[in-house]
Every structure is written in structure tokens, then in C-alpha cells.
């Protein structure tokens, strides 16, 4: 990274820290438990030292030190942090959400690493695995030494995973898997994949070590979004697995969908982090940049933008806190998570785009984080259920009618 851009990143990191308070218009931080606040401060500190100074460079190169980050995140208990036992931290849902927010204030790709590891791969094993599977995989996944991925999406089946083409058939006591998965976060660097496949008995989940003969993963190149994250295609060619690779209690599509609900919950919070970072940057820029003889922050049109964005950010935070408290009470329902994902990602992307306008030409520069966040949020808008799918989930709840097609 050039000296100038490193300096800019550091300045943004500093101002990002300093400006948290003015954005908390409704004093929502005051309602957080002390322990949640402490966890948030640890994650924010880690992002400041370990992500912010480097992430623009990772994004530009299209590669991030995933393994190193996983070990560092594991060391402070971020991986599977809302799960209990097997080396997991057992933190509250609100604390997990706050961690996602602070991680994504650094970069959505970095938060994706933690979400996929903890909420998709580890959660699937934690919730549906045998005792042996849990003991074998979870402690080293919690420490970040083992990286997991979650293969549901296929080249021809995204929003409609019920139509998946990947098959698992029995051969004696073994299982044999054939098919392919696409757009799988962490796949090129993963040690293990949770793969969902169709069997004669419906959709089942399998724990697949990536070194198994017949498994290949390749990096998906030319991404214009989430470039500080590894995304891959997995090919499964006559992959023979022992009987104990099956997740015993995961039967039917509701199993992977329950994992997605976990990960979507983290996104409800995470998207706010990206938006907050954009708004900090825009505020800082607008107060320093002068046109027509005065700071652009002093123009009414700029203040209208800033005010509207701050209001949306606080509404999103209120929503996330509410969902977090429902989760901690054990009553959070999937369609409520859809409300959060739909709203908070949609608003975050609007905030990122609006902030970009405030930065003018500098808004398109990688020396500022705004367009990187906006581009990242394009992926966040699509994965874990597109906005349209969440509208359909909410629509079904409202009308009692499923409008997904089929």
C-alpha cells in the first residue's frame, strides 16, 4: 500500500473510533449490557489494528490472509461465539451481533469469514452433528486452525435450493456424492465443507474433508465485490464418504435453512457496521472539504443527506437490538430475521451509495472505504437470501400464501 493510502486508512480508523458517539443519536449504546460492550470494544480494537490498515490492499489484490485472520479471531473467541461447549464462547446473541457489526465496519468479507465459519459450518455440526463429529471438528474450528465452508448453492440452483442437483447415494455403508456447489465462501481455503445433497430420503447434510478424493475447489475470479474474501466453486466427483460423514439429525431442507437463519441474523447487524463506517467517513470528509467558501457539511442538502442516513442507521440498530433480545430470549422467528436482513442491508447499501456522493470524486477512490463497502454490500444483498426472497418470506407471513413459484 502506498504511504498516502496507509495514512488515509489510519486517519479513517481514528475518526471512525472518535465519531461513534455523535451517531448514537438515541443513546442506544447506553442500553447495552456491560459484557456486550466489552466484547464489542475487543472486536473494534482488533479491527482497528488487524483489518483497517490493510483491508484496502487486500481488496485491491483480491486476496486476504484468511488463515491468519481465522487464528486471530479464534484466539479472542469470535468463531462460533454464540455456540456453547466444544471450545465455543457461549456469548449472547446481542454480543455476537455487535461483533458482526464491528467486523463489517472493517469489511464485509472479513465478517463473512466469521459468519460462514461460526453460523453456517460450525452451527450445522453443532446443531445436527453426532457427538463424535462435534468433538472432532468444533474445537479446532473454534480456534481457527480448521476452516469450514457451507455448500448449499449450485450453479443452477440459488434461491431455490429445493431443486438442488447434487446427489448422495448409498453404496454399502458408504455414501457417494456427485455434483457441484457454487459461490461458496471460504471453499478454496477450507479444510472441511458441510455439503447439502439430495438422497432417496430427501435433502441431507454431509461433513466432507476437503482432502477427500474427488473433491476439488477453485477460486472464483473477477469478483467486483467482497474481494477481501475467498469465494469458490466445489466439484464433487464420485466422492466416497464413510457412513459417519452424514449429519445424523439434519433431515430435509429445513436443516440448511435453519443454518441460514443463524447467518442472516449476523448480517442484520453486520450491514450496519459497513453503513456506519461509510457515514463516519462522509461526516469527516464533509466537515473538512470546502466548496463555495464553506465546508460542504454546512450546505442544507448535505445535512439532509447526513440526517436521513443517521436516522436510518439508528432505526436499523434498534431493529437489530430488538431481534438480538428476542434471540437471547429464545423466541426469534425466521421471518423476523427476514425483516431485519431485508431492511438493514437495503438501507446500508443506500447509505453507502449516498455517502459516496458526498465524497465526490474521492468517493470512487480505494483510499476511502465507501465504494468498497457499497460494492461489498451488493454481495450481502444477494447472499443468505436475496431481498426478493425475504420479501416473499414476509409476504407469506402476512397473507398465508407462498408466492415462491413452483
Ligand X SMILES: Cc1cc2nc3c(=O)[nH]c(=O)nc-3n(C[C@H](O)[C@H](O)[C@H](O)COP(=O)(O)OP(=O)(O)OC[C@H]3O[C@@H](n4cnc5c(N)ncnc54)[C@H](O)[C@@H]3O)c2cc1C
Size of the site for ligand X (CB under 6 A): 22
Q: Closest-CB residue for ligand X?
A: 158
User: Restricting to residues 106-145, which ones interact with ligand X according to CB under 6 A?
Assistant: 116
Burial 291-323 (b: 16+ CB within 10 A, else e): eeeeebbeeeebeebbeebbebbbebbebbbeb
Q: Segment near ligand X (CB under 6 A), from 31-39, 146-154, 277-285, 367-375? A: 146-154
Q: Exactly one of 151, 266, 273, 340 binds ligand X (CB under 6 A); which one?
A: 151
Name the CA radius of gyration of the chain, rounded: 21
Binding to ligand X by residue 379, rule CB under 6 A? Answer: yes
Q: What is the CB neighbour count within 10 angstroms for residue 98?
A: 27
Please choose, from the candidates 356, 383, 379, the residue with its C-alpha nearest in 3D space to the C-alpha of residue 275. Answer: 356
- Residue with grid cell 457412513, as numbered in its chain: 243
Q: Is there a contact between 234 and 195 (Cβ–Cβ < 8 Å)?
A: yes
Neighbour tally for 329: CB within 10 Å: 9
Question: Rule CB under 6 A: is residue 344 a binding residue for ligand X?
Answer: no
CB nearer ligand X, residue 39 or residue 197: 197
Among 117, 146, 166, 185, binds ligand X (CB under 6 A): 185
Interface with ligand X includes 165 (CB under 6 A)?
no
Q: Which is nearer to ligand X, 20 or 153 (CB)?
A: 153
Q: What gap in Å lies between CA 87 and CA 85, rounded to an integer?
A: 5
Which of 102, 154, 312, 384 is labelled catalytic? Answer: 384
State yes or no: is 384 an active-site residue: yes
Per the CB < 8 A criterion, the answer to whether 17 and 47 are in contact is no
CB of 61 to ligand X, least distance (A): 17
Residue with cell 472518535: 18
**For ligand X, the closer CB: 201 or 404:** 404
Q: Distance between CA 181 and CA 157 in Å, rounded?
A: 9
Q: Does 386 sit near ligand X (CB under 6 A)?
A: yes
**147 in contact with ligand X (CB under 6 A):** no
Residue 189 beta carbon to ligand X: minimum distance, rounded to whole angstroms: 12
Our finding on whether 271 is near ligand X (CB under 6 A) is: no
Q: Is 405 in the site for ligand X (CB under 6 A)?
A: yes
Helix runs in 212-333, H state only: 254-288, 300-329
Does position 383 bind ligand X by CB under 6 A? yes
Nearer to ligand X, 279 or 392 (CB): 392
User: What is the smallest separation between the CB atom of 390 and ligand X, expressed in angstroms?
Assistant: 9
Report, in Å, the least distance between residue 267 CB and ligand X.
Answer: 11
Spatial neighbors of 352 by CB under 8 A, at least 6 apart, are 274, 275, 278, 370, 371, 373, 374, 377
Closest CA to 365 of 123, 3, 9: 9
Does 158 participate in binding ligand X (rule CB under 6 A)?
Answer: yes
When asked if residue 226 is in the footprint of ligand X (CB under 6 A), the reply is yes
Q: What does the binding site for ligand X look like in residue numbers (CB under 6 A)?
A: 116, 149-153, 158-159, 183-185, 226, 231, 379, 382-383, 386, 388-389, 392, 404-405
- Which residues does the annotation mark as catalytic? 384
Amino acid at each position: 500500500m502506498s504511504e498516502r493510502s496507509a495514512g488515509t486508512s489510519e486517519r479513517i480508523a481514528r475518526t471512525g473510533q472518535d465519531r461513534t458517539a455523535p451517531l448514537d443519536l438515541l443513546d442506544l449504546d447506553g442500553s447495552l449490557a456491560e459484557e456486550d460492550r466489552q466484547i464489542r470494544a475487543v472486536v473494534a480494537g482488533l479491527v482497528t489494528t488487524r483489518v483497517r490498515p490493510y483491508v484496502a490492499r487486500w481488496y485491491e489484490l483480491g486476496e486476504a490472509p484468511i488463515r491468519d485472520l481465522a487464528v486471530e479471531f479464534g484466539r479472542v473467541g469470535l468463531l462460533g461465539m454464540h455456540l456453547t461447549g466444544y471450545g465455543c464462547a457461549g456469548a449472547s446473541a446481542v454480543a455476537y451481533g455487535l461483533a458482526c457489526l464491528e467486523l463489517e465496519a472493517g469489511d464485509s468479507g472479513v465478517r463473512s469469514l466469521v459468519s460462514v465459519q461460526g453460523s453456517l459450518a460450525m452451527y450445522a455440526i453443532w446443531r445436527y452433528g453426532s457427538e463424535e463429529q462435534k468433538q472432532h471438528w468444533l474445537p479446532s474450528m473454534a480456534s481457527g486452525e480448521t476452516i469450514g465452508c457451507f455448500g448449499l448453492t449450485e450453479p443452477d440452483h440459488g434461491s431455490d435450493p429445493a431443486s438442488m442437483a447434487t446427489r448422495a447415494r448409498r453404496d454399502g455403508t458408504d455414501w457417494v456424492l456427485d455434483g457441484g456447489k457454487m459461490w461458496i465462501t471460504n471453499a478454496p481455503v477450507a479444510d472441511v465443507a458441510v455439503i447439502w445433497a439430495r438422497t432417496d430420503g430427501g435433502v441431507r447434510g454431509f461433513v466432507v474433508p476437503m482432502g477427500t478424493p474427488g473433491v476439488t475447489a477453485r477460486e472464483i475470479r473477477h469478483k467486483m465485490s467482497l474481494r477481501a474474501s475467498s469465494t469458490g466453486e466445489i466439484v464433487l466427483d464420485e466422492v466416497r464418504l464413510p457412513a459417519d460423514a452424514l449429519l445424523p439429525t439434519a433431515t430435509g431442507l429445513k436443516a440448511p435453512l435453519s443454518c441460514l437463519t443463524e447467518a442472516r441474523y449476523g448480517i442484520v447487524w453486520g450491514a450496519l457496521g459497513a453503513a456506519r463506517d461509510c457515514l463516519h467517513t462522509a461526516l469527516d470528509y464533509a466537515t473538512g472539504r470546502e466548496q463555495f467558501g464553506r465546508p460542504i457539511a454546512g450546505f442544507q442538502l448535505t445535512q439532509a443527506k447526513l440526517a436521513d442516513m443517521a436516522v436510518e442507521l439508528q432505526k436499523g440498530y434498534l431493529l437489530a437490538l430488538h431481534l438480538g433480545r428476542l434471540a437471547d430470549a429464545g423466541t426469534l422467528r425466521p421471518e423476523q430475521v427476514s425483516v431485519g436482513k431485508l431492511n438493514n442491508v437495503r438501507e446500508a447499501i443506500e447509505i453507502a451509495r449516498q455517502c459516496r456522493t458526498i465524497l465526490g470524486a474521492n468517493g470512487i477512490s480505494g483510499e476511502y472505504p465507501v465504494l468498497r463497502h457499497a460494492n461489498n454490500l451488493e454481495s450481502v444483498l444477494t447472499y443468505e437470501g436475496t431481498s426478493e426472497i425475504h420479501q416473499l418470506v414476509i409476504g407469506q407471513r402476512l397473507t398465508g400464501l407462498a408466492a415462491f413459484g413452483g
